Amino acid sequence: MTDDNTDGRQPADESGASAEETPDSSFIQAEGPDVETSLSDADLSFLSGQSSAEELAAERLADLQRVTAEYANYRKRTEANREIERERAVGEVVKVLLPVLDDLDRAAKHGDLEEGGPFTAIATKLRSGTERVGLKPFAAAGEEFDPQIHEAIFQQPSDEVTTATIADVVESGYYLGSTLLRAAKVVVAVPNG
């Protein structure tokens, strides 16, 4: 074989690679530990970035949970306030009707609301309408007197009772839902002695 190397390349060794293409093994050995160290540093910076990302995600999750809880509490408060305002508005309207209901009670006691009478249907409709909005009358003769919900007009001594008891109801008391709208005006029978 002739050695016609006209392009200026070195002849190929037995493996078929030229001398320029073969990397210097001393260079690889010298650069090897530095590469490993720099990879380790890169891995550490990636891991620290990952942990800070996890911390950021945990903070965002905590913020989201806090805002969600605040919104749920806001909705509950708003709904409760809406219900209170509704009851207050209904209470204001119903308070105007209480004297009319008192007049109907007096008319019923005097027999003016007999079955088939002209005002019986009106009285029935008015009472059923007020019951639909949550108005409930209370106080009846024979019940125990409670100064929290009854207003004593006067007292009369009695041998028939052992505790203060309602003898007569002058005006019924009313609850609107669970709210005391008006105390009942009553005559109280008290034990003698």
Q: What is the CATH number of the domain that holds 154?
A: 2.30.22.10
In the prediction, which pLDDT does 19 show? 47
- For 81-135, write each residue's pLDDT tens digit: 998 898 889 889 999 999 999 999 888 888 878 777 778 888 999 999 999 999 9
**94 lies in the same domain as 48:** yes
**156 lies in the same domain as 188:** yes
Distance from the Cα of residue 9 to its chain's centroid = 85
**164 lies in the same domain as 73:** no
- For 40-74, write each residue's pLDDT tens digit: 555 556 656 667 888 889 999 999 999 999 999 99
**124 lies in the same domain as 160:** no
Does a structural domain hold residue 7? no
In the prediction, which pLDDT does 35 show? 46
Question: What contacts 173, CB < 8 A, 6 or more positions away?
Answer: 137, 138, 139, 149, 150, 180, 181, 182, 183, 184, 185
For residue 143, the enclosing domain spans 135-193
- For 139-174, write each residue's pLDDT tens digit: 888 899 999 999 999 999 988 889 999 999 999 999
- For 3-45, write each residue's pLDDT tens digit: 555 555 555 555 444 445 555 544 455 454 444 445 455 555 6
**187 lies in the same domain as 94:** no
Which CA distances in Å does 105 have to 93, 99, 146, 175? Answer: 19, 10, 22, 17
